[in-house]
């Protein structure tokens, strides 16, 4: 069985050795493919010098996480790979991680995506965002089994895990496809999981495997700190979800009503919120998201 590991890079020179060194040390052979989004810090030079076995795809510019990964996923389909393994540039695997994920995936199930446990860079704690994904309210069996030290060597279904380390089956790729172009950075994995569920597949965590994800001590992130960007992304997630028939006309009418009501009663915060919503709903991004939603309702290698 063949597996292609896809790493999207953008100025990630500091993680090259740990990331690609871990793939080289994998107990099962993987073809490592880097899709570079126009790095300027020597990332590609370090990879080609120290890891000449890595296949390089030069995007030439910053395509964002999803669209860059789509280049690698298309390659995986064209070459007949059984699995594609997405790995963040700031993450690295243990030697047996990929092999164990493949073994669990190959036992036959409706899991389209499997992920290992995500720990922080030093390995002394769970990655805090990953920990939210396996909170008791979201995955009680896994949380309980881990606390009691009886976690089983099988996938535990979860609602969501971020795409820092996803093993994606070929069935999933040819059914769900690639990442939606509606998302440049952040939100693309949330949308992908919604589409996966629409097509009757599941996402799971294999607790006997792990990766290190070194994303601590980062600076401000406009994708989360900017109110309008955050609101826009949440809106696009709603209108992109193939399981939801969100009606743009009805929503715009409702926000116009709230705007007029806010103006009539002098409620400035309500007016501001309504104006922001109407500006977003009137933009081309929402219309594109609705068009993409229609595309994703049909099974196939969408966007690849």
DSSP SS3 for 212: strand
pLDDT tens readout for residues 108-119? 789 999 999 999
The pLDDT confidence band at residue 225, using thresholds 50, 70 and 90, is confident
Q: What per-residue confidence (pLDDT) applies to 227? A: 85
Give the range with max mean pLDDT: 93-97, 151-155, 213-217: 93-97
Q: Which ranges of the chain would DSSP assign to H, the alpha helix?
A: 16-24, 43-50, 64-78, 97-105, 128-133, 140-148, 170-175, 188-198, 222-225, 227-240, 248-265, 268-281, 284-296
Q: Is the pLDDT reported for residue 1 higher than 90?
A: no
Q: What per-residue confidence (pLDDT) applies to 216? A: 63
The residue with tokens 């196939």 is: 300
Q: What is the mean pLDDT of residues 85-113?
A: 96
Q: Strand 165-169 and strand 111-120: pairing?
A: antiparallel
Q: What is the mean pLDDT of residues 259-275?
A: 95
Judged by average pLDDT, the poorest of 158-172, 212-226, 248-262 is 212-226
DSSP SS3 for 81: coil
Assess contact for 164 and 188: CB atoms under 8 A.
no
The pLDDT confidence band at residue 222, using thresholds 50, 70 and 90, is low
Q: What per-residue confidence (pLDDT) applies to 204? A: 97
pTM recorded for the entire structure: 0.95
Give the DSSP letter string of 104-154: HHTT--SEEEEEEEEEESSSSSB-HHHHHHT-TTT-HHHHHHHHHT---SS
pLDDT tens readout for residues 3-46? 999 999 999 999 999 999 999 999 999 999 999 999 999 999 99
Q: Is the pLDDT reported for residue 279 higher than 70?
A: yes
């Amino acid at each position: 069985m063949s597996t292609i590991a896809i790493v999207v890079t953008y100025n990630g020179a500091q993680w090259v050795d740990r990331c690609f060194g871990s793939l080289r040390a994998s107990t099962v052979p993987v073809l490592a493919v880097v899709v570079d989004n126009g790095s300027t810090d020597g990332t590609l030079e370090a990879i080609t010098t120290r890891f000449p076995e890595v296949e390089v795809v030069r995007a030439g510019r910053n395509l964002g996480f999803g669209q860059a990964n789509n280049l690698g996923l298309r390659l995986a389909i064209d070459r007949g790979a059984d699995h594609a393994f997405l790995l963040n540039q700031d993450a690295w695997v243990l030697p047996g991680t990929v092999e164990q994920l493949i073994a669990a995936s190959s036992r036959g199930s409706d899991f389209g995506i499997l992920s290992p446990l995500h720990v922080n860079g030093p390995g002394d704690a769970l990655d805090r965002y990953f920990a939210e994904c396996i909170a008791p309210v979201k995955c009680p069996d896994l949380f309980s089994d881990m606390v009691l030290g009886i976690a089983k060597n099988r996938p535990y279904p979860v609602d969501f895990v971020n795409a820092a380390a996803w093993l994606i089956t070929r069935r999933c790729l040819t059914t769900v496809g690639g990442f939606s172009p509606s998302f440049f950075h952040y939100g693309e994995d949330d949308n992908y999981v919604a589409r996966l569920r629409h097509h009757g597949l599941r996402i799971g965590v294999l607790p006997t495997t792990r990766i290190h994800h070194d994303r601590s001590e980062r600076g401000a992130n406009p994708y989360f700190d900017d109110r309008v960007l955050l609101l826009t992304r949440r809106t696009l997630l709603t209108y992109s979800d193939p399981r939801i028939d969100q009606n743009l006309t009805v929503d715009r009418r409702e926000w116009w009503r709230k705007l007029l009501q806010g103006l009539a009663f002098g409620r400035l915060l309500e007016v501001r919120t309504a104006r922001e919503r109407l500006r977003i709903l009137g933009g081309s991004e929402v219309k594109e998201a609705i068009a993409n939603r229609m595309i994703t309702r049909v099974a196939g290698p969408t966007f690849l």
